[in-house]
Amino acid sequence: PALSKLQRSGLFEKCPRSARMAPSPSLSSPTAFETGETAPRRRTTQLHAIDPGTADTMASLHHFGVDHGELVSAVALAGAIDYGEILRKASKRAIGGGTSGALAGVAQVLSLMWLRTTMNYQYRYGTDTLTALGALYSQGGIPRLYQGLSFALVQNPLSRFGDTAANAGVLAILEALPETRELPLPLKQGMASLAASSWRIAITPVDTLKTTLQVDGKEALSQLKNKVSLGGPGVLWNGAFAAAAATFVGNYPWFLTYNYVDGILPHPEEGDVATMLARRAALGIAASAVSDTISNSLRVIKTAKQTSKVPISYVEAAKEIVEADGPLGLLGRGLQTRLLVNCLQGALFAVAWKYFEKKLGVS
């Protein structure tokens, strides 16, 4: 009833045109007006612009018999935020983004796992890239470089699903809520990266199996079984906190760099596929270079703890590395290989991620 009275009062027409046409956060779901129908765009947004306290408004209310409380309720209702709709859209965005990220992760594993195995071997033993490749090849040829492939095909897509779902879903929620919409990008990205880090802790046992197989080959499973008998099932989560920290320290600058550069780099014209792919690859390379340089030392410690023959602490793992290679070992072990593999993977992931997003219809 209040809505029909307000229509007759002419208050809608007193609103500025820009206010009448502004988008409303609650347009996508039904309002609770008497009719139960979804409010038209112009009608809802006009209500946002009405000030119940002005003399002009009060006179119109009195003339048409509109109670002041009815108006205040109608204006508040029109501006109400549909949190269920926000969560629905964020979930859809997260699942779509996570699925496309997982598919991109499969592409990464199949094409570049041999370099990942080399890098993890370097993390554990501290050799240069060519020496590590030679040592691995002598232990079993090409198949040795793909030791742990089955676990990698589970772990990498799961990791990428969590990373991209957290990035897409958390950012979608923060962008939709008026209270958080204006927060600076670094703060929003930090929240998304915290969510991704928590996911990595959950899937650490899969990562432990994969990494141990990469580093120690056929002996890995018996070695891990012995380690579990000494320290219990909890050893499967060895390195979990370092992995979570490395994920945050790596994920945060990766997506922050990606989102920042994506916002300032000009977009190609519609249909220019070559330029579009080159742009996405450049975004991935830039993001990976920044991320890897910052997070490498944490990944070195994580790998040393995960693949030790007996349970050790983070401090003991760090001491082992420093004793073998000095303080620079913490910072530089495998970094050259990591920069190479992750620039390639970053470019591949950025292209594949956005390709699968488009195919899956994720906007």
Q: What is the mean pLDDT of the chain?
A: 76
Q: Looking at the predicted structure, is the pLDDT value of residue 238 above 80? A: yes
Question: Are 144 and 29 in a shared domain?
Answer: no
Average pLDDT of 33-44? 40
User: Which among 78, 113, 135 is the end of a domain?
Assistant: 78
Question: Are 210 and 122 in a shared domain?
Answer: yes
Question: Are 168 and 54 in a shared domain?
Answer: no
Each residue's pLDDT tens digit, 204-213? 999 999 999 9
Residue 50 pLDDT: 44
Rounded distance between C-alpha atoms, residue 298 and residue 193, angstroms: 16
CB 237 within 8 A of CB 204: yes
The confidence band for 26, taking pLDDT boundaries of 50, 70 and 90, is very low
Question: Are 179 and 288 in a shared domain?
Answer: yes
The confidence band for 309, taking pLDDT boundaries of 50, 70 and 90, is confident
Question: Are 74 and 150 in a shared domain?
Answer: no
Q: Looking at the predicted structure, is the pLDDT value of residue 71 above 60? A: no
Q: What is the CATH number of the domain that holds 298?
A: 1.50.40.10
The confidence band for 87, taking pLDDT boundaries of 50, 70 and 90, is low
Average pLDDT of 28-55? 41
Question: Are 18 and 104 in a shared domain?
Answer: no
Q: What does the H/E/C string look like for the chain?
A: CHHHHHHHHCCHHHCCHHHHHCCCCCCCCCCCCCCCCCCCHHHHHHHHHCCCCCHHHHHHHHHHCCCHHHHHHHHHHHCCCCHHHHHHHHHHHHHHHHHHHHHHHHHHHHHHHHHHHHHHHHHHHCCCHHHHHHHHHHCCCHHHHCCCHHHHHHHHHHHHHHHHHHHHHHHHHHHHCCCCCCCCHHHHHHHHHHHHHHHHHHCHHHHHHHHHHHHHHHHHHHHHHHHHHHHCHHHHHCCHHHHHHHHHHHHHHHHHHHHHHHHHCCCCCCCCHHHHHHHHHHHHHHHHHHHHHHHHHHHHHHHHHHHCCCCCCHHHHHHHHHHHHCHHHHHHCCHHHHHHHHHHHHHHHHHHHHHHHHHCCCC
Question: Are 55 and 106 in a shared domain?
Answer: no
Question: Are 73 and 111 in a shared domain?
Answer: no
User: Which among 59, 78, 97 is the end of a domain?
Assistant: 78
Neighbours of 320 (CB within 10 A): 18
Question: Are 10 and 127 in a shared domain?
Answer: no
Q: Cα dihedral angle (79, 80, 84, 85), rounded to 10 degrees?
A: -10
Question: Are 248 and 181 in a shared domain?
Answer: yes
Q: Is the pTM of this model over 0.75?
A: no
Question: Are 41 and 95 in a shared domain?
Answer: no
User: Which among 44, 78, 112 is the end of a domain?
Assistant: 78
What residues make up the domain containing 12? 2-78
Q: Looking at the predicted structure, is the pLDDT value of residue 34 above 50? A: no
Question: Are 146 and 258 in a shared domain?
Answer: yes
Picking from 1-15, 21-35, 322-336, which range would have the lowest pLDDT averaged per residue?
A: 21-35
Indicate the number of domains in the chain: 2
Q: Shortest CA distance to 241 belongs to which of 201, 277, 297? A: 201
